């Protein structure tokens, strides 16, 4: 069963927003056994939308469309869908009630409700309306031309609720779905081609309906096995058997046996062992903390920490010595060490991370150019500090510092686990 996603809106094509919807939708669809053939982003242009609908319908059975449903003039998806299906618009009373309820809740009155707001309740006459619990634009489900078309708002949380509450259940009940099983192994600390060499014979032995992909990213490589078939239990077992062979082969670099980011693997590991963590961030400025705290249950492991951006806060919050800052500078092995040990001491966690560096683009010197970062990880027994040198891109320096810190903590945890 194949689907395509069409996102409509100039804002994606001029690079003003990143299309996060498609990845989320693709993930949800894959979970129920629907493969995405293509994702296309097209402009708020009548002819372009019509062509994209035609091309997608020529390749796939399910076409999911997001965007272009707002109340303003640049939003033409609904009108264009009417043209595509050769139908007119009708008023949907439930959608109008919803528009009025939202308006009433936000403004405390219906006075001032605009004609464009009311128009949001107009829908193509051949659609089944999917009510929007989080906004004014209704979703629309079409059974036409032997295909399923679904049009949803581009606002992520409106689309997500609609998918979870209505579209996914309706797809499951409307279609006979094949089975796709993905199994991902997260590895840390070995390059893609080395991994490939180590598991070459396992890869060569894979049957045609199981594929292996390498997804490398900053010191990590995800190995993803994808199996396609009909019998879910059998396929799962088969994919898992190959996964176990790979895991055994490269056990020394496996950080997780599922598709989770490294910080989640760390949280799970620490939670399982009752370990606790705090963080002292300078150049990463809260980035590492929010990586951890985006995950439910982070509070069982993560106490918190200091975003000690200024030197003064390094002293106040972490107890870094004024002398150390003066003698070695904020970006130094010595300060990183005092930061991580200050975090352990002041925040009373079992493990700590500290990062201090020059993210750039300013602040570099000949001796310490932009991209110079000191990362420390520690527990009560051991402090490890590394100097790393990245490039001159701020965002990248922050992200790489974070990933490096996580990789270091992961190694410290597993080494400590082995020793202890």
User: Interaction with a copy of itself in 298-327: which residues (CB under 8 A)?
Assistant: 298-299, 302-310, 312-313, 316-317
Positive or negative, the CA dihedral 241, 246, 248, 254 is negative
The smaller minimum CB distance to a copy of itself, of residues 88 and 391, is found at 391
What pairs with residue 62 in β-bridges? 3, 148
Instruction: Say whether residue 285 binds a copy of itself (CB under 8 A).
Output: yes
Q: Which of residues 136-175 bind a copy of itself (CB under 8 A)?
A: 155, 157, 160
Residue 231 CB partners (closer than 8 Å, separation 6+):
179
Instruction: Say whether residue 404 binds a copy of itself (CB under 8 A).
Output: no
Binder of a copy of itself out of 88, 169, 189, 391 (CB under 8 A): 391
Residue 117: both structure tokens together: 């707001």
Binder of a copy of itself out of 100, 131, 240, 396 (CB under 8 A): 396
Instruction: Say whether residue 394 binds a copy of itself (CB under 8 A).
Output: yes
Binder of a copy of itself out of 100, 117, 240, 411 (CB under 8 A): 117
Instruction: Say whether residue 208 binds a copy of itself (CB under 8 A).
Output: no
Contact 405, 388 (CB under 8 A): no
- Minimum Å gap between C-beta 393 and a copy of itself is 7
Return the SS3 of 16: coil
Q: List, edge to edge, every strand of the sheet that includes 254-256.
A: 210-217, 220-229, 179-188, 254-256
Instruction: Say whether residue 362 binds a copy of itself (CB under 8 A).
Output: yes
Binder of a copy of itself out of 141, 142, 149, 287 (CB under 8 A): 287
Instruction: Say whether residue 296 binds a copy of itself (CB under 8 A).
Output: yes
Residue 168 CB partners (closer than 8 Å, separation 6+):
28, 32
- Minimum Å gap between C-beta 149 and a copy of itself is 19
Q: Which of residues 27-86 bind a copy of itself (CB under 8 A)?
A: 27-30, 35-44, 48, 52, 55, 70-74
Q: How many CB atoms lie within 10 A of CB 400?
A: 20
Contact 9, 137 (CB under 8 A): no
Binder of a copy of itself out of 46, 83, 131, 216 (CB under 8 A): 216
Write down the residue that tokens 């088969």 correspond to.
238
């Amino acid at each position: 069963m194949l689907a395509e996603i069409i996102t409509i809106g100039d804002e994606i094509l001029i690079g003003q927003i990143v299309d996060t919807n498609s990845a989320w939708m693709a993930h949800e669809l894959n979970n129920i056994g629907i493969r995405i053939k293509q994702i296309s982003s097209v402009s708020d242009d009548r002819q372009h939308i019509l062509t994209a609908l035609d091309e997608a319908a020529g390749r796939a059975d399910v076409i999911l469309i997001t965007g272009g449903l707002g109340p303003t003039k640049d939003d033409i998806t609904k009108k264009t869908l009417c043209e595509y299906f050769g139908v007119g618009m009708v008023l949907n009373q439930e959608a109008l009630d919803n528009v009025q309820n939202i308006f009433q809740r936000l403004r405390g009155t219906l006075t001032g409700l605009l004609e464009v707001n009311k128009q949001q309740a107009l829908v193509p006459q051949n659609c089944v309306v999917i009510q929007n619990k989080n906004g004014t634009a209704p979703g629309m489900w079409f059974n036409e031309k032997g295909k399923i078309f679904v049009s949803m708002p581009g606002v992520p949380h409106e689309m997500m609720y609609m998918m979870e509450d209505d579209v996914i259940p309706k797809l499951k009940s409307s279609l006979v779905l094949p089975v796709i099983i993905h199994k991902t192994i997260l590895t840390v600390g070995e390059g893609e081609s080395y991994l490939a060499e180590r598991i070459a014979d396992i890869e060569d032995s894979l049957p045609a309906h199981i594929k292996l992909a390498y997804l490398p990213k900053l010191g990590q490589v995800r190995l993803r096995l994808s199996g396609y078939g009909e019998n879910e239990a059998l396929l799962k077992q088969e994919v898992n058997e190959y996964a176990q062979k790979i895991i055994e082969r490269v056990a020394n670099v496996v950080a997780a046996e599922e598709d989770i980011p490294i910080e989640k693997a760390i949280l799970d590991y620490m939670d399982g062992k009752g370990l606790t963590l705090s963080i002292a961030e300078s150049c990463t400025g809260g980035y590492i903390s929010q990586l951890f705290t985006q995950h439910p249950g982070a509070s069982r492991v993560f106490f918190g920490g200091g975003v000690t951006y200024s030197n003064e806060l390094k002293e106040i919050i972490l107890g870094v010595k004024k002398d150390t800052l003066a003698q070695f500078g904020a970006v130094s092995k010595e300060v990183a060490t005092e930061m991580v040990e200050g975090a352990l001491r002041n925040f009373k966690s079992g493990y700590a991370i500290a990062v201090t560096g020059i993210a750039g683009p300013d602040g570099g010197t000949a001796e310490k150019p932009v991209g110079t970062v000191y990362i420390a990880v520690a527990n009560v027994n051991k402090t490890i500090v590394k100097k790393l040198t990245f490039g001159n891109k701020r965002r990248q320096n922050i992200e790489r510092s974070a990933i490096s810190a996580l990789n270091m903590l992961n190694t410290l945890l597993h080494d400590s686990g082995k020793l202890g």
